[in-house]
Amino acid sequence: MSQVYSVAVVVGSLRKESYNRKVALALSELAPPSLALKIVEIGDLPLYNEDVEAEALPEAWKRFRDEIRRSDAVLFVTPEYNRSVPGCLKNAIDVGSRPYGQSAWSGKPTAVVSVSPGAVGGFGANHAVRQSLVFLDMPCMQMPEAYIGGAASLFEDTGKLNDKTRPFLQAFVDKFASWVKLNRAV
Ligand SMILES: Cc1cc2nc3c(=O)[nH]c(=O)nc-3n(C[C@H](O)[C@H](O)[C@H](O)COP(=O)(O)O)c2cc1C
């Protein structure tokens, strides 16, 4: 049987009707059989505090770190807040990165998608995440870049992804599947 890679999808929005969550779910449906995408929740993670690391570890931190460790790859799908990463996502990145020397992220192939109702498509957030990925030692797919603007019109009233966006997301997730395979083979 051919290999199926598990992908932890980390969504940088806690909003119920989040466009980013909808795009993450659409990517999950479009993914080829070699990838199994699953959203890993971040809304319950207490704010990172180094003091807590030495005390009773929050269950949510343990659960999150375990889920990331168990995954073969990670996909970030995020909005842009004030031209940067939403606090909930940065907190999740920090929680996953510790204790020092035991980062859950290390070496996992990754990619970043940003989604915004605005025209710039969350470019600032996308690149702010990429900045952390360098230090986290995560090989990040460079192309295609995914700055998805005009989020309010991505989905039809039926909830179906529009015909303009679907081929782009399909190409993105297909390329990501190749990226994951290549980097997991190393
Ligand atoms: C605190 C805050 C800051 C925001 N800053 C930006 C921004 O810098 N650029 C942008 O394109 N949209 C910005 N927005 C608008 C978000 O892109 C919009 O709320 C979007 O729907 C959030 O993504 P979601 O639908 O996945 O929750 C901001 C929204 C909030 C709440």
% of the chain exceeding 70 in pLDDT: 99
Query: Whose alpha carbon is nearest atom 22 of ligand 1?
Result: 79
Going by C-alpha positions, the residue among 39, 145, 141 that lies closest to residue 92 is: 39
12 lines ligand 1 (CB under 6 A): no
Report the chain's mean pLDDT, rounded to a whole number. Answer: 96
pTM above 0.95, yes or no: yes
CA 62 to ligand 1 centroid distance, Å: 29
Beta-carbon contacts of residue 155 (< 8 Å; ≥ 6 apart): 22, 161, 162
Rounded distance, CA 152 to CA 130, Å?
25
Average pLDDT over residues 14-19: 97
CA of 116 to the centre of ligand 1 (A): 6
